[in-house]
Amino acid sequence: MTKRTPIIAGNWKMHNTLAESATLVEALKKADNKNNAEIIVAPSYTSLAEVARLAKGSAIKVAAQDVHWEDKGAFTSAVSPVQAKDAGATHTILGHSERRSVFGDTDEILNKKVAAALRHGLTIIFCVGETLQQREANETISVIEGQLENGLKGFTAEQLKGLIIAYEPVWAIGTGKTATPDQAQEVHAAIRKFLAGKYSQEFADATRILYGGSVKDTNVDEIMAQPDVDGALVGGQALIAEKFARIINFN
């Protein structure tokens, strides 16, 4: 089995002033990392450059929470991949359920954003997940396969090398509900099987798949024990240095 370096990523969403962001990243720089995990934080755009500056030379990498599909233009309030990279981002989250549901990012829009991120060498954390209604209708796997098929359409395994996928059941984001370790493993295994069929087994084995959805210091150990779970995309507890440090140092 391919040994995959775990990733612990924190999505700060619309939280933290510049000062709060600086305090948090400085605390995380001092945290132990016994698993030699790849640590990624995704601050708000207003803090992106400062967090990237403070994280430089540390084990912490910085992601934009989203990027536009154009490099520049009349797109008020949007941030381009060029701007995100210029601010110090090495990664970008794309397709987060809040972007899909609140801001209307369709598979077609995300496909264009994937192209833009790849064009500028940003590593993509591509989010997929089902709603509670879809899960109860036993549509979980077909929904996620559709999101992957359409969102990544037209790209080769070589172009997508380094892609990170995050499975986030929409019903578990910010609700306090978490998929059971078995539920997470079932979906992660299905994602890996899909990637093997679409690209190759080698590509599937190398791709890291994160679980997101109310990941906490109290449940991370069981989640990370699953063979196809390669890391976590953390929301609320990513804002609390000691909690996120405990998640980084999962057992």
Q: Any catalytic annotation for residue 96?
A: yes
User: What pLDDT does residue 2 have?
Assistant: 67
pLDDT score of 226: 97
**Residue type present at position 204:** A
Told to judge if 168 belongs to the known catalytic residues of this protein, a careful annotator would answer yes
User: Among 73, 230, 242, which Cα is nearest to 164's?
Assistant: 230
* Given 38, 96, 98, 130, the catalytic residue: 96
Q: Which residues contact 142 (CB under 8 A, 6 or more apart)?
A: none
pLDDT tens for the chain, 251 residues long, are 468 999 999 999 999 999 999 999 999 999 999 999 999 999 999 999 999 999 999 999 999 999 999 999 999 999 999 999 999 999 999 999 999 999 999 999 999 999 999 999 999 999 999 999 999 999 999 999 999 999 999 999 999 999 999 999 998 877 777 789 999 999 999 999 999 999 999 999 999 999 998 899 999 999 999 999 999 999 999 999 999 999 999 99
pLDDT computed for residue 181 by the predictor: 92
Given this model, what pLDDT does residue 150 score? 98
User: Letter for the amino acid at 249?
Assistant: N
Q: Which of 105, 114, 104, 88 is nearest to 21 (CA)?
A: 88
- pLDDT of res. 210: 98
The predicted structure's pLDDT at residue 177: 77
- The helix (run of H) or strand (run of E) holding residue 10 is strand 7-11
Q: What is the pLDDT of residue 30?
A: 96
pLDDT of residue 173: 76
